[in-house]
Structure 1
Amino acid sequence: MTQVTEHGGGVWSLRVPIPDNPLGHTLVHVLDTDRGPVLVDTGWDDPASWDELTSGLAALGLSVREIHGVVITHHHPDHHGLSGRVREESGAWIAMHAADTAVVRRTREAEPGTWFDYLARKLATVGAPEDHIAPLRAARASGRMRTLPGLRSALPDREIVPGELLDLAGRRLRAIWTPGHTPGHVCLHLEEEHPSRLPGHGRLFSGDHLLPGISPHIGLYEDPDDATAADPLGDYLDSLERIGRLGVAEVLPAHQYAFTDAAGRVRELLDHHEERLTGLLGLLAVPLTPWQLAERMEWNRPWDQIPYGSRNIAVSEAEAHLRRLVKLGRAEPVAGTDPVTYIAV
């Protein structure tokens, strides 16, 4: 596929690869402004990804040194990873929602081993078998604590304020807070007539919130110091409905491809999650730990074929669904169980 796609009206997308990931690439968007080009996301911090980003810009007649600013939809490394290097080369500002900036700061400032200890405790709490937790304990003991994605992510120097227009000369780009995939995920509404005059109100840089063919991962918001029982899936569903009401002409996501009928895609995703929650109630006819629930949930491959790291992501998603069911009064923890089990009510 073509590395650079022109979307009209001073907007382009660049395909920046994600190493060893089935998603394949991040779509980094370039937005022309009166003060110079601005990037929406940057891609993974990897030499090959950097080469693709710079060659994509060169195909547009641009250099990284000309980048004026970087707007980050969320803190994940396939979106925020290269922003620090872009800033080093260009002096560009970096903007992010405060909730995700807090995640970046917490990750950068965490004491060595904090995340390994936290994940080991968390996995034990959800009922993971000891042979799954053992590699984390071994990594902690060996001192291999500075290899996790995100530890080199740049600290943003501007805050994206929901509902406000970003300071982009000659453009109308409004931030919409869409928590769920991360606590500070934002979509960016380009409130300008579509260059092809498609019906609807402008275009939407949707990050990972709204994708044409897949549902984004919705897991627990990870914070070792916060015992608050957040409801990420509830946040995501509420955010979806908010986006569905915008009536945008076209969606420019960070993965896959641009598409129209945002409202129709929102309805599909809302229906998908309701069907999934209903299916989980069937599994919870008997008490299950979050780990046991994850083992029984439907994924893109059988549980015994899911890689180690992906199992951690899957069980976090199972926990997020359990949180939602408990909040809705459709499931409850079984008193006296350790690790705690849940049952449908």
Structure 2
Amino acid sequence: MANKTVLAFALIIISVFGFQFAQAQQQIEINLENAPKGYFTLSLLQGAERISVDSAKTINGKLVLKGRYDSGLYALIKNGKGFSFIVNENKIRLQADWNAGAGSLKVLESEENRWWTEYLMRRNITYGKLNVIQPVTMAYDRDSEFYRQATKEFYTVQGGLRTFVSKIPRQTLASLFARADLRPRLAHNMSFSEQRLSMKKNWFANVDWTDSRLLNSDILTNKINDFMSICAGRGASRPEVERGMKEGVDILLSATQANPQIHEYALSLLVKKLETYGIRNPAYSHKLRHPYRNLRTRGPRAGNNGQTQKIRRLKGWKKSFAHQRFRFAGQ
């Protein structure tokens, strides 16, 4: 009886861990038709880095890559040129005119990438229109017919993109990435300072911090970098930049603390971003660059305690870092 109990327990453990592994990686086949001759590299986008995971050579104008890949945003590159796409399905078929660039990408088989490429196209058109309409409305008389038409168009265009994103199936990576990438709503008559305040408050409203798959893309990195640029302000004085960046650090670290993996990444990214503005924090830079250093777990029972240690240590560093007075390089 005891042996049966142990065997049953072992089968449960194997099935659970096997399921988790299956969720992490899938057997995937990627086909690129109309591919030029030569070798291609498949790279996973992780923040600003491209991690090469596979490569292949075209045969008769067709490129085929097969393997176990993590779900995420990938780039297919040849001689420094390429395009990105989502890898999260067992079979993906794409076609592109390599000389025409990423805009020529056609999705032959992949629900994820049909949604994703459509989102990217709509996003670029939407933000391009909004950047034109909003300044125009601010320059016209509010009682004029042109102002009313422009205002209506502003909200129609802005709402159209959000409506499209809401239609993307929630279980897809395309939905996760699009929601995280989506900018917050703005009113047409906001001044630039009002826009900045609104964006700082709502910039991460649609980000699902609990989903670590965001790290397998450049979406979160771009989102955080843009946010810190908004916090710094355009043409601001050094004291203003310092105050804005401190506020940004508080907001970001508070938002990410529920997910230790994303929290750790945000810490390292913040240090790099602060350095680009000439801000340094000597007391915490080393810890922020290596937040898990010297935190080791030993034995089968160490997992939970080790994870608790990491979370506590990260929270301690977050609190110290967020309240440390930043200094500009050279001061």
- Please give the TM-score of this superposition, normalised by the length of structure 1: 0.30
- Structure 1 or 2: more helix by fraction: 2
